[in-house]
């Protein structure tokens, strides 16, 4: 899981990629605050809560609420 920034940081995408199948989920966000990223993460992962066991995010401060996202999406979200 990571963020991809637009030209001039005009926006960003929250991206989640499953390594083996390369299945990708994305959501456009307009700021990179931890709250916005957490809300987007929960929205992306909730439909897959029965299929996904763990997610690993990078060490950015935008993933500061990873524990909250873990509880709401009912999976383990690691912050490395």
- What is residue 76's predicted lDDT score, i.e. its pLDDT? 60
Q: What is 2-79's CATH number?
A: 3.30.420.10
The string over 18-47, giving b where at least 16 C-beta atoms fall within 10 Å of a residue's C-beta and e elsewhere, is eeeeeeebebebeebebebbbbbbbebbee
**Structure confidence at residue 75 as a pLDDT band (50, 70, 90):** low
Residues 26-66 have pLDDT tens digits of: 999 988 888 898 889 889 988 887 777 777 777 777 777 66
Residue 78 has pLDDT above 60, yes or no: no
- What is residue 5's predicted lDDT score, i.e. its pLDDT? 87
> Is pTM beyond 0.95 here?
no
């Amino acid at each position: 899981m990571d963020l991809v920034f637009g030209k001039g940081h005009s926006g960003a995408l929250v991206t989640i990629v499953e390594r083996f199948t390369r299945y990708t989920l994305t959501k456009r966000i307009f700021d990179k605050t931890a709250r916005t990223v957490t809300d987007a993460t929960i929205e992306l992962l909730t439909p897959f809560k029965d299929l996904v066991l763990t997610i690993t995010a990078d060490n950015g401060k935008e993933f500061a609420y990873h524990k909250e996202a873990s509880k709401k999406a009912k999976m383990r979200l690691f912050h490395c």
